[in-house]
Each structure stands twice: as structure tokens, then as C-alpha cells.
Amino acid sequence: MPEIREGIEPYLEAFARLREEPSDGNGWLARRREEAMARFAARGFPTTREEAWRYTSLQALVRSRFELRPAPRPEALTPALFEQLTFEPWDCTHLVFLNGRFAPGLSRIAKLPPGVRLTSLARAIRDDRDFVEEHLGRAADGSERSLTDLNLAFTTDGMFLHVPRGTVLQDPIHALFVSMSDGAAAMSHPHNLIVVEEGSQATVVESYAGIGPAAYLTNAVTEVVAHSNAVVDHYRLEREQTSAFHLSLVEARLDRSAVFSSQAIALGGRLVRQDVRVVLDGEGAECTLNGLSVLDGDQHVDNHTFIDHARPHGTSRELYKGVLDGRSRGVFDGTIVVRPEAQKSDARQVNRNLLLSEEALADSKPTLQIEADDVKCSHAATIGQLEEDALFYLQSRGLGEETARSLLVNAFVSDIVGRIRIEPVRAGLECLLFTRLPRHHGATRVGA
Amino acid sequence: MLEIRNLRARAGGKEILNGIDLTVRAGEVHAIMGPNGSGKSTLAHVLAGRESVEVTGGEVLYEGKNLLDLGPEMRAREGIFLAFQYPVEIPGVSNMYLLKAALNAIRKHRGQPELDAIEFLAMVKERMKLVEIDQGLLNRAVNEGFSGGEKKRNEIFQMAVLDPRLAILDETDSGLDIDALRVVAGGVNALRGPGRAMIVITHYQRLLNHIVPDRVHVLAQGRIVTTGGRELALRLEEKGYAGIGNDTHGAAAPAGVS
């Protein structure tokens, strides 16, 4: 019997209880879960001894105990909160999940084009078995990351979207994940599966939030398969409670000439680790990865991106920004790999960090690994404070110091916010930033 | 309007201003000339309220108030405007947004109602003519990617909109070709008036052919070493700063500089 890795007993116990639940005749799923759990048990949680985790310790998570909890009563989600979390008045499809379980009573599915399948993963596992079996855990197979295995071991629900060939989804789809610890600390392992067939188009927004002050864990995985010429725009808004642990992976596989964009906004959470991995697995595929973290207090947000240029003529554009106040820490670790076959690849990566306090900390680690000889690749990283020159210039025009600082911070984030093409989400985010950023400044006067 | 008495200041650990005395009355245009490193820009920044310049002695009265007690934004609201030698680029903030925020902050301070978007636009359109600035520039981020000439024009344009009582032009002529210089000087001349005073800081006499000053001061090593009328600038052109400095040092001393 090998030693039990630190902190995994609660997960083994929770897994044993999950095993008792009826499997609806899905033996394949039960087997995959067992395999995933065995892999996770063998590897355990990542530690700071691993290069990919050197800036982010999961000790606080490992020492906590989380359990699978039933969904809170829907009334816990008050109408006012619901309105805020669904970006009212945003008239689109909202799929709502409570503690990782689909809540049909709170969800609203607008009319969709023929052939589009949009439902909860739990239902798709039941009704669309062969398709799910073929795709689940294929793009994200856990080989890079034991947390993916942990997710696969507990995969029960999430969003399922399949867009057939030549179909354009005009309206975005919003999947909202709300967690709440009622009694014991809750964990959820949402698994989203997005498959967009040839020449089709879809826009998906995932947002993550919580209710109440108690800690909880979200360990989410999203798999995106974009077939040739497909266009997928993916938005992720993380606004968890500041007591929450949030781990996530977005893994996208792009076929020939597919176009994928990811916008990852992190505002909440105590300890947040977000991985975005994209494989440009067909000629001429293109991806854009943007990210914004706005942090305060003791928040820690670690963004890892990995772009694999596996075929020729691929393009990747990446811009991640961090605004760090209080004692917060922001990490950006971005790797771009260009395989020998991937000639004429064009990759550009930029990471910029703005420190608003003396104690905030930013780490930036860009890595280019180029194995082809005819490519265009660049990266840039900056960590700085508000420029005294710019502050003085604005003040010398009559703007108060607070206003000037706020204006400069908003200007810093404006290029990311401006790229959000869904008007209600952009407006909602601007509103969130507006209430957060000025409050920051009162506490961080320079000098006086 | 402005009275500077024995002003001393230090920046970057060095004494830069070593006792400046200067009086400027409403309606006057004063030119301050001097070689590199004489303290011209430091004087401009002290008057505008830059914190990184430390005032170590003396006083500055502006319309009877102690200017050094006010932060930079209060000075701006009280009617002081500095046209920067090196205007700052601010990506993500549009020129129009900055101008409207600045103008309304000043108007509010003066007890005037804030302008709405339509009133503001009408005013901007009218003032634009003064400096022949392109409307396209105004919708762009503040000074971002502007040429040197465009930046200087933008400074004068901001001055025209904000309507200061005391304008300080810090080497607004440096780096301008003659056409741009004419435009900028034309804008400044149009804003001259009995209620407004200007301090024009320049390295070159050339600007004073276009903006004719009432008084010319020569600054050297943090002191005003000589003062005269416009003819002083012409003499400088002829003899250079070295000549004037030697010529006047003895004359200035009895006035009690040290």
C-alpha cells in the first residue's frame, strides 16, 4: 500500500460515497472515474516543488476539508443577487448550477437553431451517451495536471453544448456556477463540454460566484473542441467570494482554420489558479487569450497559459494584465511552444502588471520554446506602478488625486474590458470595476 | 498676480533654485530665458505643484494666497496652467474625456455649472480654431503617438479650453518647425488679455519674435541674473548667455542676490 498523499483522504472518502450512487447504466463513466481517482491518488495535489506551481502553494487548500454538498435551496439565490449574476437585463440563455448541480428551475434556455444540443452534462451523459463518451476527458485528459483527474473523478454535471455543422449561434450562452457552503464546506467539480463542428460559431460565458462567507472549492474543467473553420468565443468571469478556492482549466483543441478566443477575468477568490491550454492542431488555426486580474487584500491569482503551435501558419495573440492592491499576489506564467512542423507560426505574448500598493506582488514568467525556424514570436512583460508623470499631468489639469489615480487604473484595464463584445457583460464588468477600483485608491495614497 | 520671493528648491538631491525673486502682474507676459540646467523647468514645476521638487525656502503668493500650500489640482482650479515641455502620453484616456473632466473640475471650483456634452463640444469646436488642431487627435488617447508639434499644439489647445489666469509655457517652442511655431504663438497671442498673465520659458530668442514679452529675465544657476525689456532677448541672441551672465553679474550683486 503506497503512502497516502497529503490531504487526499477526504477526497477518497467523498469518492467512495459517490461510488454508491446509481450510475444509470453508464459503466464507462464509472470506470473512467475510478481510473481518474486512482491517478489523482497516485499523484496527489501539486506542490511548489513542481515548476508549474512554484509561485502557488495549495497548502491552505490541502489542509481544508471539502465535501460534495447538495445544492442550496434556490431561495438562497435572492432575486437581487440573481439579477446581478445574470447581468440583467441580459436576455439570453442562462444555465444555472448550484454547488455544481444543474438547477433547471433557475435556468432559461432561449430558442436555439435546429440541431444545437444545449443541456446539462448530467442529462447529456444519460441521453447522448456515445457522444459524451467519445469527447469527455479527451481534450483535457489529466496527463498534465492532477487537478484535472480530480475533476474527472467527480465529474457529474456541467454545461454541455454541441453545435452541428454550419450553424451560427447568434446569442451567447451563459453558464452560471454558484457555490454555497451550508454547514460543511462545499466542493464542486463542474465539467463543461463544448463541441463546435465545422464552420459553426458559438459564444459561451462562464461565470463563477458564491454566496455567504464560508470557504468552498470550485475545481472546474472546460473542454472546447473547435472543428475546422469553427469560431468559438469563450469568456470566463471569476468573481468568487474572497474565502473561496478556485481552480480551473480551459483546454481547447483547434482544427484547421478554427478561431478561438478566451477572455479570463479574475476578480474574486482567495486562492485562484486558472489554466488555459490551447492546441493549434490544424493549419492556420488562430487563438487570442486575454486575461485581467483585479486583486486586493490577501488574494492570490495564478494564471497559467500554454499555447501549442502544432501545425503551420498558426497565430496566437495573448494579453494578460494584473492590477494588484493590498497584499495581493498575481502570477502570470505563459508558455508558447512552436513544434518543428509549425512553420510560419506567429505568436505574440504580453503581460503587464500594475502595482497599487507597496505590499502587492507580481510574478511574470513568459517562456517561448521554439522548435521551428521560420516563425515570428515575441513576448514582453512589465511590472510597474502608476507613473508619477502621468499623475502629475492629470492633477495639473485640475483633476483630484483620487480621480487621477482611478482614471489611470481604468485606462490600464480599458483595452481588456473593451475587447468584451457582449454589451451586458462588458457593462456589468465596468460596473464591478467601478465599485472596486476607486475604493482601492483611498487606501493607497502615495507619500502623504 | 504672482509674487515669488527668494524661492529655493531642490530636486534629485541637488539645489536647483537659489533664491528667485519675480513679480508678475495681470496682463503681463514675462519671458524667462537661460541655458540648460539653469532651473527654468524646475521653476515651472514648482509653480505647478510637482511634489518631487522640494521647496527649501522662500514663498510664492498667487493672488494674495500662499501658493505653496496648495496641491497641484487646487492650483489648476485656481487658474494656473502649465504647458509641459514634454507632455505626457496617457494611453487609454481620451483627450476629450480629460478635457471635459478638467474643465468641469475647474468650473465646479469656481461655482459655475458643469457643461453638458453638447455645450462642451460647442466650446471645444470654437477653441480648436485657435491652434488649428485636428479633431481626430482629440478623440485619441492623450498625446499617445502624437508628433512633437501635435503635443505642443495640444497643450495650447488645453490652455485655450481651461482659460487660466496664469499660464506657464515651459519651452513650448522647443522642437517646433517654423509653421508649428507660428500656430502655437498665434494661439498664445490670441489668449493674451488684461486679466491673464503668462510666463514664457524658452531657450531660444526666436519665440520672442512671435510672442513679444513685457519683461525678459535671464536665469543662471538658479537665480535671475538680469532683467530687462525685449531688447535683452536680442542682446542674448547676439552675445550668448555667457556674455550676458558676465556682463550683469556685477550689476545684479548690489541688488542683494547673495
A397 vs B contacts (CB less than 8 Å): 76, 98-99, 102, 158, 162
Q: Which domain holds residue B214?
A: 2-255
pLDDT, mean of residues A300-317: 98
From residue A21, alpha-carbon distances to A12, A63, A183, B57, B160 in Å are: 15, 27, 22, 81, 76
Q: Which residues of chain B have pLDDT under 50?
A: 246-258
Give the separation between CA A339 and CA A313, rounded to whole angstroms. 12
Interface residues from chain A to B (CB-CB < 8 Å): 387-390, 392-401, 403-404, 407-408, 410-412, 414-415, 447
Chain A interface, mutation test: which of B77, B88, B162, most A Cβ atoms within 10 Å? B88
The partner residue sitting opposite B98, judged by closest CB among A397, A410, A447, is: A397
Instruction: Give the pLDDT confidence score for residue A419 in this predicted structure.
Output: 92
The partner residue sitting opposite B72, judged by closest CB among A389, A396, A415, is: A396
CA distance A201 to chain B (A): 31
pLDDT at A34 over 90: yes
CB contact under 8 Å between A387 and B88, yes or no, is: yes
Q: First-to-last CA distance in chain B?
A: 26
Query: How are the residues of chain A apportioned to helix, strand and coil, as percentages rounded to the nearest 5?
Result: 25, 35, 35
Instruction: Give the pLDDT confidence score for residue A22 in this predicted structure.
Output: 73
CB contact under 8 Å between B90 and A392, yes or no, is: no
Give the separation between CA A97 and CA A107, rounded to whole angstroms. 8
Give the separation between CA B204 and CA B216, rounded to whole angstroms. 12
The partner residue sitting opposite B72, judged by closest CB among A395, A403, A415, is: A395
The partner residue sitting opposite B92, judged by closest CB among A387, A397, A412, is: A412
Give the separation between CA A10 and CA B136, rounded to whole angstroms. 62
Instruction: Give the pLDDT confidence score for residue A441 in this predicted structure.
Output: 42
CB contact under 8 Å between A392 and B51, yes or no, is: yes
pLDDT, mean of residues A403-428: 92
Instruction: Give the pLDDT confidence score for residue B176 in this predicted structure.
Output: 87
The predicted-structure confidence for B136-157, as pLDDT tens digits, reads as follows 888 899 999 999 889 999 999 9
List the single residue in A with minimal CA-CA distance to B79: A398
CB contact under 8 Å between A396 and B49, yes or no, is: yes
- The DSSP secondary structure of A385-415, one letter per residue, reads E--HHHHHHHHTTT--HHHHHHHHHHHHHHH
The partner residue sitting opposite A399, judged by closest CB among B51, B105, B141, is: B105
H or E element at residue A248: strand A245-254
pLDDT, mean of residues A242-261: 98
Instruction: Give the pLDDT confidence score for residue B230 in this predicted structure.
Output: 87
CA distance A381 to chain B (A): 17
CB contact under 8 Å between B51 and A408, yes or no, is: no
Give the separation between CA A278 and CA A65, rounded to whole angstroms. 32
B75 vs A contacts (CB less than 8 Å): 396
Ramachandran region of residue B143, left (φ > 0), alpha (ψ -120 to 50) or beta?
left
Instruction: Give the pLDDT confidence score for residue B196 in this predicted structure.
Output: 95
The predicted-structure confidence for A76-134, as pLDDT tens digits, reads as follows 888 999 999 999 888 899 999 999 999 999 999 999 999 999 999 999 999 999 999 99
pLDDT at A2 over 60: no
A354 vs B contacts (CB less than 8 Å): none
Task: Name the grid cell of A53.
Answer: 506551481
pLDDT band of A444, cuts 50, 70, 90:
very low
Residue with cell string 514570436: A377
Count of domains observed in chain B: 1
Residue with cell string 478556485: A246
CA distance B142 to chain A (A): 10
- What burial class does residue A445 get, using C-beta atoms within 10 Å of its C-beta: 0-12 exposed, 13-18 middle, 19+ buried? exposed
pLDDT, mean of residues A376-390: 94
CB contact under 8 Å between A389 and B88, yes or no, is: yes
The predicted-structure confidence for A197-231, as pLDDT tens digits, reads as follows 999 999 999 999 999 999 999 999 999 999 999 99
Give the separation between CA A444 and CA A424, rounded to whole angstroms. 31
Q: How many residues does the structure list for chain B? A: 258
- The DSSP secondary structure of chain B, one letter per residue, reads -EEEEEEEEEETTEEEEEEEEEEE-TT-EEEEE--TTSSHHHHHHHHHT-TTEEEEEEEEEETTEEGGGS-HHHHHHTTEEEE-SSPPPEEEEEHHHHHHHHHHHHHHHTTPPPP-HHHHHHHHHHHHHHHT--HHHHTSEETTT--HHHHHHHHHHHHHHH--SEEEEESTTTT--HHHHHHHHHHHHHH--TT-EEEEEES-TTHHHHS--SEEEEEETTEEEEEE-HHHHHHHHHHHHHHHHHHHHHHHGGGT--
pLDDT, mean of residues A361-386: 95
The partner residue sitting opposite B92, judged by closest CB among A393, A398, A414, is: A414
CB contact under 8 Å between A398 and B90, yes or no, is: no
From residue A349, alpha-carbon distances to A286, A288, A334, A411 in Å are: 14, 10, 8, 20
pLDDT at A394 over 50: yes
The string over A60-80, giving b where at least 16 C-beta atoms fall within 10 Å of a residue's C-beta and e elsewhere, is ebbebbbbbbebbeeeebeee
Chain B interface, mutation test: which of A391, A392, A401, most B Cβ atoms within 10 Å? A392
CB contact under 8 Å between B73 and A393, yes or no, is: no
Coil, strand or helix: which one is A250? strand
CB contact under 8 Å between B90 and A408, yes or no, is: yes
Instruction: Give the pLDDT confidence score for residue A445 in this predicted structure.
Output: 33
Instruction: Give the pLDDT confidence score for residue A320 in this predicted structure.
Output: 98
A292 vs B contacts (CB less than 8 Å): none
Task: Please choose, from the candidates A49, A67, A68, the residue with its C-alpha nearest in 3D space to the C-alpha of residue A58.
Answer: A49
Chain A interface, mutation test: which of B52, B73, B107, most A Cβ atoms within 10 Å? B73
Task: Tell me which amino acid residue A350 is.
Answer: V
Q: Does B105 contact chain A (CB < 8 Å)?
A: yes
Q: ipTM score of the complex?
A: 0.92
Task: Please choose, from the candidates A195, A202, A66, the residue with its C-alpha nearest in 3D space to the C-alpha of residue A139.
Answer: A195
The partner residue sitting opposite B48, judged by closest CB among A389, A394, A396, is: A396
Q: Does B76 contact chain A (CB < 8 Å)?
A: yes
Instruction: Give the pLDDT confidence score for residue A253 in this predicted structure.
Output: 98
Instruction: Give the pLDDT confidence score for residue A4 in this predicted structure.
Output: 61
Instruction: Give the pLDDT confidence score for residue A24 in this predicted structure.
Output: 65
Instruction: Give the pLDDT confidence score for residue A143 in this predicted structure.
Output: 86
Q: The CATH number of the domain where B219 resides is what?
A: 3.40.50.300
Give the separation between CA A224 and CA A251, rounded to whole angstroms. 6
